[in-house]
C-alpha cells in the first residue's frame, strides 16, 4: 500500500521514488495527498483506502458494515453492488456510526466507502458532507 502511494506521488511530481523516500515525512505525505487528489488517481486512491481499512482498521470497517447490515466476510463485501438503505435509515446509521467513537477514520471510512465505484449511494455523500459541517 505504501509503495503504491509513493509510486503515484513520484509519477505526479515527475521525480524518482528514491527521491521521495529520502524526503521528510511531512513532504512525502503532502506529495502523496496531492497525487491521490487528482482525478486520474481516483482508482488508485480507492484501492489504497480499501487496503488501509481492510488491513489496518478492520474493526472500523466491520463496525460500519455490520451497522448497515451488509453481508461481508472479514470486511470484504459479499455483494459487489450492495443496495443503498432507505435515506432515513442511512441517516440514522451515519449519525450513530460517527457518534459511537471520536475517531477521524470513521468519517474517512464513510467518504471512502461512498466514493467506491461499486457503491452507488448518492445519499451517503450528502450525509458525509453534512456531518463535516
Distance from chain centroid for Cα 115: 7
Nearest C-alpha neighbor of 130 from the set 53, 118, 114, 120: 114
User: Per the domain annotation, does 28 fall within a domain?
Assistant: no
Q: CA angle at residue 97 from 127 to 71, to 5 degrees?
A: 95
Give the burial class of 51: count Cβ atoms within 10 A of its Cβ; 0-12 exposed, 13-18 middle, 19 or more buried.
middle
CB 60 within 8 A of CB 53: yes
Output the pLDDT for position 67: 97
Q: C-alpha grid cell for residue 110?
A: 464513510
User: Per the domain annotation, does 20 fall within a domain?
Assistant: no
User: Per the domain annotation, does 47 fall within a domain?
Assistant: no
Can you tell me the mean pLDDT for 26-55? Answer: 79
User: Per the domain annotation, does 49 fall within a domain?
Assistant: no
Query: Model pTM?
Result: 0.71
Count of domains observed in the chain:
1
CB 50 within 8 A of CB 77: no
Beta-carbon contacts of 59 under 8 Å, excluding residues fewer than 6 positions away, are none
Expressed as residue numbers, the domain containing 90 is: 57-132
Interval 93-123: pLDDT, tens: 999 999 999 898 999 999 889 888 888 898 9
| 36 pLDDT higher than 80 | no
> Percent helix, strand, coil in the chain (nearest 5)?
70, 5, 25
| 24 pLDDT higher than 60 | yes
DSSP H/E element including 110: helix 104-115
Amino acid at each position: 500500500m505504501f509503495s503504491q502511494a509513493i509510486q503515484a506521488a513520484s509519477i505526479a511530481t515527475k521525480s524518482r521514488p528514491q527521491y521521495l523516500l529520502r524526503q521528510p515525512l511531512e513532504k512525502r505525505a503532502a506529495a502523496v495527498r496531492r497525487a491521490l487528489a487528482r482525478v486520474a488517481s481516483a482508482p488508485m486512491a480507492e484501492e489504497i483506502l480499501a487496503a488501509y481499512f481492510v488491513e489496518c482498521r478492520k474493526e472500523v470497517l466491520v463496525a460500519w458494515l455490520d451497522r448497515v447490515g451488509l453481508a461481508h466476510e472479514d470486511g470484504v463485501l459479499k455483494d459487489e453492488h450492495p443496495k443503498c438503505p432507505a435515506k432515513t435509515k442511512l441517516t440514522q446509521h451515519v449519525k450513530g456510526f460517527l457518534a459511537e467513537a471520536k475517531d477521524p477514520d470513521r468519517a474517512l471510512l464513510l467518504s471512502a466507502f461512498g466514493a467506491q465505484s461499486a457503491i452507488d449511494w448518492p445519499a451517503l455523500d450528502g450525509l458525509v458532507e453534512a456531518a463535516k459541517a
